[in-house]
Amino acid sequence: MRGVSFISLAVLLLLATLQEVRSHGDQPLAKIDIRRSTLALHASAYVNASPAILGLKGQTTEWVTLEFSSPNPSVDDWIGVFSPSNFSASTCPEENPRVYTPLLCTAPIKYQYANYSSPKYKDTGKGNLKLQLINQRSDFSFALFSGGLSNPKLVAVSNQIAFANPNAPVYPRLAQGKEWNEMTVTWTSGYGINDAEPFVEWGRKGGDHVHSPAGTLTFDRNSMCGAPARTVGWRDPGFIHTSFLKELWPNAVYTYKVGHLLVNGTYIWGEKHQFRASPYPGQNSLQRVVIFGDMGKDEADGSNEYNNFQRGSLNTTRELIRDLKNIDIILHIGDICYANGYLSQWDQFTAQVEPIASTVPYMIASGNHERDWPGTGSFYGNMDSGGECGVLAETMFYVPAENRAKFWVTSLLLETKDLEQRPRTATLKQKEECKRQWYSTDYGMFRFCIADTEHDWREGTEQYKFIEHCLASVDRQKQPWLIFLAHRVLGYSSGTSYAVEGSFEEPMGRESLQSLWQKYKVDIAVYGHVHNYERTCPIYQNICTNKEKHYYKGTLNGTIHVVAGGGGASLSPFTTVQTTWSFYRDFDYGFIKLTAFDHSNLLFEYKKSRDGKVYDSFRISRDYKDILACTVDSCPSMTLAS
Ligand SMILES: *[C@@H]1O[C@H](CO)[C@@H](O)[C@H](O)[C@H]1NC(C)=O
Ligand SMILES: *[C@@H]1O[C@H](CO)[C@@H](O)[C@H](O)[C@H]1NC(C)=O
Ligand SMILES: *[C@@H]1O[C@H](CO)[C@@H](O)[C@H](O)[C@H]1NC(C)=O
Ligand SMILES: *[C@@H]1O[C@H](CO)[C@@H](O)[C@H](O)[C@H]1NC(C)=O
Ligand SMILES: *[C@@H]1O[C@H](CO)[C@@H](O)[C@H](O)[C@H]1NC(C)=O
Ligand SMILES: [Fe+2]
């Protein structure tokens, strides 16, 4: 009985949705085949989901149990998770080769085969499944399909379930501000500026707390550049808030929680977290940095998603959480979550990294899977961003890029109170400028210069000027550890994709930059994009400048190039070609950790994600005079500060 009434409700909802879609015409792909969608619905088929209300104790993640039955089971039946619950079950043609099956006009958040926990399903027609859901600002339904992924036919739809407060503020993420003593907190909620005032309550641990206001951003379907982000992958992003916590005391521990003050005077709170403020630039204290690229996200319940190839991601996340007390800052250098236009996966990613990003600054760089889209000003005209063209990455994570301010003002549907003073529409040129995500950030004795490989970096470009300024303006006596970061391999990689080019680099990668790295004595350059680990000798113009492998005393005479793209996305093979400069290669998931003990001693470690153990390492031990020493093409020493 229950099952039947749910189905008729589902059919009604479905029809209502279809009509709405037609009347508004906001889903251009929705060529609805009602007959096909509804005929497969079977009176004795059902899906029951429980519990009906999630997060009663304020949790943002919960497990649900499904029980389902079909009178005509087959081996490729599957269950799709939908949110909002009132989805369209019609199939839509692909518009972008990166759109994978199932091609429903509303993409499921994730899906699982009906036999996953019930191997006898294809004989008995009965099954059950446990799924983990996160709070994503809307309710959920679960639908049983036959016909496999490529020709889905709706058999039954479940009851709807929801989090107690779907709008709750969730997944806070920290990032360094533009000043060394500023931390930014960014989070997601279902509260727009007309519903509530967003803020952060924060202060020294055990001391007085204050409220700091937050800005609010959102965007609509028209901000997306193409399919699937604009079509089947679109999902309302809710509201993204950022607050700036200023004038922090170096290394002091702060506690904070995000909140919203509703118009009726009620406060809605996020969870309490704490972080340690960044050290003063040049400060001598223990400083530990983790760097990796290409991590992505994966489902703890084993279910499948679009672009389902980041199986190493949960191991990396687990090991980072395990070692979190010994990590001060994280740099995720591009290919953040591989949502590739399926917007709900940004929520999945921010939920996955919440324990990390809510505790230490989580700094991102732009990768092809965030930014690239034809005709939008990206250096490459491919479709790797799935139509996101950088908007999701720029909105979901804060970076202290100079162009960010312009971006905030003009590129999005900006929701601030002094809107009158700000231009409402941006020119195309402004929009493109705002998507340039290069920036520099200091952490104590470290200076990081973070390039954006999805925009031109060659001599004569604005980015080249930025890179030179970033490298030249650091005072190496105070900040001896100079690190260059980028997504694509501008330096050296033996990955097959780069080896076939014969130059072992992104085309035109190092030609203009290597003289800068040499002149300004960059110690280490780290890249992602190639999904493995590799370390070179200190090198300049293809020649090792130092033959030592594990302990560098005095000058390096070149830069050590590292690929750390094994964050979690499917691994990339190496060429069998041997080079003189490649010191260590690992075809596995992992990340690197830099530990600065003081101004003279740095430890580099490569750890595997499977066990968190160190598999490659080296030390640098040197004095300021070693940095000043002349080497090939770097005489005399050229820092603006000196
Ligand atoms: C379906 O969900 C969308 C998004 O939440 C909502 O705008 C719409 O009103 C819903 N339609 C029905 C029929 O419930
Ligand atoms: C479960 O379903 C998948 C997908 O159709 C199929 O590949 C697999 O063989 C099935 N397993 C069993 C035990 O039937
Ligand atoms: C204020 O509004 C919220 C959300 O609508 C509601 O849950 C709460 O009970 C209201 N509080 C008061 C005091 O009216
Ligand atoms: C994740 O780590 C476990 C050991 O903790 C290992 O067995 C498994 O193979 C790893 N997964 C991947 C994809 O590397
Ligand atoms: C670095 O280069 C200088 C000048 O070419 C040379 O004298 C020195 O031996 C080199 N150091 C190492 C460690 O190779
Ligand atoms: Fe990439």
Equal fold, 170-274 vs 287-398+426-628: no
The angle at the Cα of 327, spanning 571 to 445, to the nearest 5 degrees, equals 105
Note if the pTM is more than 0.75: yes
Instruction: Give the residue among 488, 494, 520, 533 at the shortest CA–CA distance from 507.
Output: 488
Atom in ligand 1 nearest the alpha carbon of residue 13: 13
Residue nearest to atom 9 of ligand 1 (CA): 17
User: Ligand 4 centroid to 565 CA: how many Å?
Assistant: 17
Percentage of the chain with pLDDT > 70? 87
Residue nearest to atom 11 of ligand 1 (CA): 17
Overall residue count recorded for the chain in this entry: 642
Atom in ligand 5 nearest the alpha carbon of residue 547: 14
Query: Of the bound ligands, which one is closest to the alpha carbon of residue 572?
Result: 6
The reported pLDDT for the residue numbered 402 is 84
User: Ligand 5 centroid to 469 CA: how many Å?
Assistant: 26
End-to-end alpha carbon distance in the chain: 81
User: Is the CB of 631 inside a 6 Å radius of any atom of ligand 5?
Assistant: yes
In which band, very low, low, confident or very high, does the pLDDT at 500 lie, cut at 50, 70 and 90? confident
User: Ligand 2 centroid to 304 CA: how many Å?
Assistant: 14
User: Is the CB of 263 inside a 6 Å radius of any atom of ligand 3?
Assistant: no
pLDDT tens-digit series, residues 307-330? 888 999 999 999 999 999 999 999
pLDDT tens-digit series, residues 161-172? 999 999 999 999
- DSSP H helical ranges for 389-477: 391-396, 404-410, 428-434, 462-472
pLDDT tens-digit series, residues 397-453? 999 998 654 444 334 434 343 333 334 444 555 555 666 899 999 999 999 999 999
The reported pLDDT for the residue numbered 95 is 80
Residues with CB under 5 A from ligand 6 (ion): 335, 367-368, 529
Class of domain 170-274: mainly beta
The reported pLDDT for the residue numbered 91 is 80
Instruction: Enumerate residues lining ligand 1, CB below 6 A.
Output: 13, 16-17, 20, 84, 86, 138
User: Is the CB of 152 inside a 6 Å radius of any atom of ligand 4?
Assistant: no
Q: Give the right CATH number for 2-163 from 2.60.40.2840, 1.20.1250.10, 2.60.210.10, 3.20.20.140.
A: 2.60.40.2840
Check: CB of residue 268 under 8 Å from CB of residue 259: yes
Query: Of the bound ligands, which one is closest to the alpha carbon of residue 570?
Result: 4
CA distance 346 to 328: 24
User: Ligand 3 centroid to 168 CA: how many Å?
Assistant: 13
Residue entry with tokens 């500023």: 182
The reported pLDDT for the residue numbered 8 is 36
pLDDT tens-digit series, residues 192-236? 999 999 999 999 999 999 999 999 999 999 999 999 999 999 999
User: Ligand 4 centroid to 480 CA: how many Å?
Assistant: 36
Instruction: Give the residue among 388, 292, 298, 286 at the shortest CA–CA distance from 328.
Output: 286
In which band, very low, low, confident or very high, does the pLDDT at 52 lie, cut at 50, 70 and 90? very high
When pLDDT is averaged across residues 80-101 and rounded to a whole number, the result is 84
Query: Of the bound ligands, which one is closest to the alpha carbon of residue 120?
Result: 2
Which of the two residues, 490 and 636, has the higher pLDDT score?
490
List, as one string, the DSSP characters of 554-589. S--SSEEEEEE--SSS---PBPS---SSEEEEE-S-
Query: Of the bound ligands, which one is closest to the alpha carbon of residue 121?
Result: 2
User: Ligand 1 centroid to 21 CA: how many Å?
Assistant: 10
Residue nearest to atom 7 of ligand 5 (CA): 631
pLDDT at position 4 over 50: no
pLDDT at position 469 over 90: yes
Q: Give Cα 219 distance to the centre of its chain.
A: 18
The reported pLDDT for the residue numbered 127 is 98
pLDDT at position 32 over 50: no
Query: Of the bound ligands, which one is closest to the alpha carbon of residue 528?
Result: 6
User: Is the CB of 115 inside a 6 Å radius of any atom of ligand 2?
Assistant: yes
Computed over every residue of the chain, the mean pLDDT equals 89
pLDDT at position 26 over 70: no
User: Is the CB of 262 inside a 6 Å radius of any atom of ligand 3?
Assistant: yes
Give the pair of three-digit tokens for residue 125.
Answer: 């027609």
User: Is the CB of 453 inside a 6 Å radius of any atom of ligand 5?
Assistant: no
The reported pLDDT for the residue numbered 123 is 97
User: Ligand 3 centroid to 440 CA: how many Å?
Assistant: 44
In which band, very low, low, confident or very high, does the pLDDT at 11 lie, cut at 50, 70 and 90? very low
User: Ligand 2 centroid to 566 CA: how many Å?
Assistant: 30
User: Ligand 2 centroid to 114 CA: how many Å?
Assistant: 9
Atom in ligand 5 nearest the alpha carbon of residue 557: 1
Q: What superfamily does domain 287-398+426-628 belong to in CATH?
A: Metallo-dependent phosphatases (3.60.21.10)
The reported pLDDT for the residue numbered 37 is 44
When pLDDT is averaged across residues 574-589 and rounded to a whole number, the result is 97
User: Ligand 1 centroid to 138 CA: how many Å?
Assistant: 10
Q: Which of 70, 74, 75, 78 to mutate to test the pocket of ligand 2 (most atoms within 8 A of CB)?
A: 75
User: Is the CB of 311 inside a 6 Å radius of any atom of ligand 4?
Assistant: yes
Check: CB of residue 240 under 8 Å from CB of residue 395: yes
pLDDT at position 239 over 60: yes
Residue-wise over 52-63: b if at least 16 C-beta within 10 A, else e? eebbeeeebbbe
The reported pLDDT for the residue numbered 641 is 53
Residue spans of the domains in the chain: they are: 2-163, 170-274, 287-398+426-628
When pLDDT is averaged across residues 154-160 and rounded to a whole number, the result is 94
User: Ligand 2 centroid to 76 CA: how many Å?
Assistant: 7
User: Is the CB of 638 inside a 6 Å radius of any atom of ligand 3?
Assistant: no
User: Is the CB of 266 inside a 6 Å radius of any atom of ligand 3?
Assistant: yes
Atom in ligand 4 nearest the alpha carbon of residue 610: 2
Name the DSSP class of 39.
H
When pLDDT is averaged across residues 623-630 and rounded to a whole number, the result is 94
pLDDT tens-digit series, residues 530-540? 999 999 999 99
Instruction: Give the residue among 194, 190, 217, 213 at the shortest CA–CA distance from 413.
Output: 217
The reported pLDDT for the residue numbered 145 is 95
User: Ligand 1 centroid to 160 CA: how many Å?
Assistant: 13
Residue nearest to atom 4 of ligand 2 (CA): 76
When pLDDT is averaged across residues 56-69 and rounded to a whole number, the result is 97
The reported pLDDT for the residue numbered 419 is 35
Query: Of the bound ligands, which one is closest to the alpha carbon of residue 521?
Result: 5
Q: Which of 292, 610, 613 to mutate to test the pocket of ligand 4 (most atoms within 8 A of CB)?
A: 610
